[in-house]
């Protein structure tokens, strides 16, 4: 158990916990049930890696992370090797790899600091949170035989009713997915939770009448602006380009007070049907 974990930690914190070893590496595990068709969800893997990196940095928050996914993650023990490249007054830069045995799963570099600190007085926000019905009027993603996948048992995800047509073969034709996100059992959300939230929703292309299948993540970047401080997060994901076997997915995460708290961009492989 790390210094930032506690016996009362909820399922997300427990599933992303790791402990420091005498040789400077961290020992953790990819937990059962955090998968999509047998492979661990990319946001979950990033949060597992990010927690060890954050703890190694000695800072309270992840500020930015970029990860390259090299092998699918399966349930079992993993080894994480964080290295602090620089520790400055405001931020620490850390790089790390996650291994399952000798197989490398992903490599990431991140900035860690205190997002509650004010780093500048200028603000200019040109976007707005997505318009969503209240959570109880949205469609909860409850894992079934074929869809949604098992990972969605570990959080509460509610999809905008207009964005669920792909479930019965009637996608609306836009590469767009909107909805609400929160952890279960009143587990508090921190900046590491945002790494999971940015990869928790169905792929945008499901609503663009493209194949509904596993969409493997190649690279995922997350920028964090603030800590979540509301029960629910408003999320919106869009894609503009699907070409040469790849797609990009851009995400915005807002809290329910109208603050934009995270951005993401993901490069993924297009399902082959």
Query: In the block, which residue shows the tokens 């995460």?
Result: 253
Per residue, the 3-state secondary structure of 231-263, as one string, reads CCEEEEEECCCEECCEEEEEEEEEECCCCEEEE
Distance CA 210, CA 172 (A): 11
- For the cut 80, the answer to whether the pLDDT of residue 21 exceeds it is yes
Query: In the block, which residue shows the tokens 């927690």?
Result: 51
**How do the residues of the chain divide into helix, strand and coil, expressed in percent and rounded to 5?**
20, 35, 45
Q: What predicted TM-score, i.e. pTM, was given to this entire model?
A: 0.92
Nearest to 242 by CA among 266, 223, 262, 222: 266
Q: Which helix (H) or strand (E) holds 39?
A: strand 39-40
Nearest to 190 by CA among 49, 13, 6, 7: 13
Do 185 and 11 form a contact (C-beta atoms < 8 A)?
yes
Q: How far is CA 87 from CA 23, 91, 93, 215, in A?
A: 20, 6, 6, 36
Mean pLDDT score, 47-74: 97
172-229 pLDDT per residue, tens: 889 999 999 999 999 999 999 999 999 999 999 888 877 666 688 999 999 999 999 9
Q: Tell me the two tokens of residue 157.
A: 């995800």
- Bridge partners of 176? 238
Confidence label for 117 from pLDDT (cuts 50, 70 and 90): confident
If one counts every other C-beta atom within 10 angstroms of the C-beta of residue 137, the result is 10
Distance CA 103, CA 248 (A): 26
Distance CA 48, CA 264 (A): 17
- pLDDT given for residue 273 in this prediction: 57
Confidence label for 122 from pLDDT (cuts 50, 70 and 90): confident
């Amino acid at each position: 158990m790390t210094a930032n974990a506690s016996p009362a930690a909820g399922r997300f914190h427990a599933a992303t916990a790791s402990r420091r070893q005498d040789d400077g590496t961290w020992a953790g595990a990819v937990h059962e049930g955090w998968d999509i068709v047998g492979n661990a969800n990319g946001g979950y893997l990033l949060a597992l890696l990010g927690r060890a990196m954050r703890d190694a940095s000695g800072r309270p928050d992840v500020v930015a992370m970029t990860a390259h996914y090299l092998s699918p993650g399966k349930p079992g023990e993993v080894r994480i090797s964080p290295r602090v490249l620089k520790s400055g007054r405001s931020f620490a830069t850390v790089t790390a790899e996650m291994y399952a045995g000798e197989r490398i799963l992903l490599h990431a570099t991140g900035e860690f600091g205190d997002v509650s600190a004010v780093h500048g007085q200028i603000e200019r926000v040109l976007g707005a949170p997505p318009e969503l019905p209240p959570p109880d009027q949205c469609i909860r993603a409850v894992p079934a035989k074929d869809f949604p996948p098992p990972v969605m048992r570990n959080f509460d995800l509610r999809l905008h009713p207009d964005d669920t047509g792909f479930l019965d073969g009637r996608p609306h034709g836009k590469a767009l997915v909107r909805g609400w996100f929160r952890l279960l059992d009143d587990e508090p959300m921190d900046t590491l939770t945002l790494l999971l939230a940015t990869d928790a929703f169905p792929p945008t292309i499901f609503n663009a009448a493209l194949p509904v299948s596993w969409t493997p993540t190649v690279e995922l970047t997350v920028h964090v602006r603030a800590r979540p401080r509301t029960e629910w997060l408003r999320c919106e994901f869009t894609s503009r380009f699907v070409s040469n076997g790849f797609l990009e997915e851009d995400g915005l995460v807002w809290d329910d007070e109208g603050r934009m708290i995270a951005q993401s961009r993901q490069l993924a492989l297009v399902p082959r049907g």
